[in-house]
């Protein structure tokens, strides 16, 4: 266990499924190494005061809310469905999807009132119930735990309420998405009233997650420029602070180093070349602490 912390933070993560790999990769990028084992439910990280509790995603919200785990990584959809009383600490961006209502594609759908008197199959009854109430609609909810998309085809329901990401499952089952009820991604949740010692471990973990996120959309750029062009070129560069300018061995030439946003990259490269930059080298950044 790391010297500077006096507590162990227990994190609930999905044992297998769509969030598992991205969760493990995020922890690994944050240098929190968890050796995965098929049989062990609770695994301590080798180099950080964290232990991972591997669970089905359905059980994660409650496990955190009741304090069996201190924090957890779970889909916002699952958290909302369970209504567990946790603090959402960060949106993590992966596992993006939406919860939508879909109807057989040949239906003449004119608006949410279409659902009045209909039967809707779903694995997310609580979220659906809330939506129906808010829209003042009356429909029968048929709860099934999997393969919701086949419900209309087999005559089990008139419509479905389910997770959509690309939409191809809907198309394959002759369904049409008509209402998006919520957007979801994986979230890091924490139990309420975490002790200060555990909060300190969480804060260190957040510091690392944020450094990874900051770096994701940034590039490190090195380029060479004639000394007389340095002012013109540095004026084009936003950088984290100001760019680093160093003389090259060849007199009259400089090397300029800076960090730029990925979305501005191509536009900037064109301008830099036009201003006399040469040998432009672009690199990924692993972590960025602003």
List of residues contacting ligand ATP (CB under 6 A)? 14, 17-19, 56-58, 75, 77-78, 95, 97, 163, 165, 184
Residue placing its CB nearer to ligand ATP in the complex, 134 or 165: 165
Nearer to Mg ion, 49 or 75 (CB): 75
Contact 80, 60 (CB under 8 A): no
End-to-end Cα, the chain, rounded Å: 27
Compare residues 75 and 243 and give the one whose CB is closer to ligand ATP. 75
Residue 123 CB, shortest distance to Mg ion, in Å, is 8
* Span 43-62, contacts to Mg ion by CB under 5 A: 57-58
Coil, helix or strand at residue 196:
helix
* Helix ranges (DSSP H) in 89-195: 125-134, 168-172
- Min CB(143)–ligand ATP separation in Å: 14
Token pair for 35: 């050796």
CB of 152 to Mg ion, least distance (A): 22
The least distance separating ligand ATP from the CB of residue 245, rounded to whole angstroms, comes to: 45
Minimum CB distance to ligand ATP smaller for 116 or for 165 = 165
Binding residues vs Mg ion (CB under 5 A): 57-58
């Amino acid at each position: 266990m790391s010297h500077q912390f006096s507590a162990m933070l227990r994190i609930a993560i999905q044992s297998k499924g769509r969030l598992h790999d991205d969760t493990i990769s995020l922890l690994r990028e944050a240098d929190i190494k968890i050796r995965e084992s098929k049989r062990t439910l609770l695994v301590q990280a080798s180099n950080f005061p964290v232990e991972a509790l591997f669970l089905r995603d359905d059980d994660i919200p409650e496990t955190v809310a009741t304090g069996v785990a201190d924090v957890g990584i779970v889909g916002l959809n699952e958290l909302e469905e369970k209504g567990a009383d946790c603090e959402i600490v960060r949106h993590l961006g992966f596992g993006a999807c939406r919860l939508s209502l879909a109807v057989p594609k040949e239906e003449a759908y004119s608006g949410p009132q279409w659902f009045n008197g209909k039967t809707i199959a779903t694995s997310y009854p609580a979220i659906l119930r809330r939506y129906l109430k808010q829209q003042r609609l009356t429909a029968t909810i048929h709860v099934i735990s999997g393969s919701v998309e086949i419900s209309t085809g087999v005559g089990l329901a008139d419509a479905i309420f389910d997770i959509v990401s690309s939409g191809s499952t809907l198309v394959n089952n002759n369904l049409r998405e008509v209402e998006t009820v919520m957007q979801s991604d994986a979230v890091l949740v924490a139990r309420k009233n975490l002790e200060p010692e555990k909060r300190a471990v969480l804060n260190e973990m957040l510091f690392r997650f944020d450094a990874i996120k900051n770096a994701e959309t940034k590039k490190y750029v090195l380029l060479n420029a004639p000394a007389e062009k340095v002012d013109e070129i540095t004026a084009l560069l936003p950088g984290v602070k100001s760019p680093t300018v160093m003389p090259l061995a060849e007199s009259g030439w400089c090397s300029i180093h800076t960090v730029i946003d990925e979305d501005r990259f191509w536009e900037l490269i064109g301008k830099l070349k036009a201003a006399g930059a040469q040998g432009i080298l672009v690199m990924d950044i692993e972590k960025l602490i602003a």
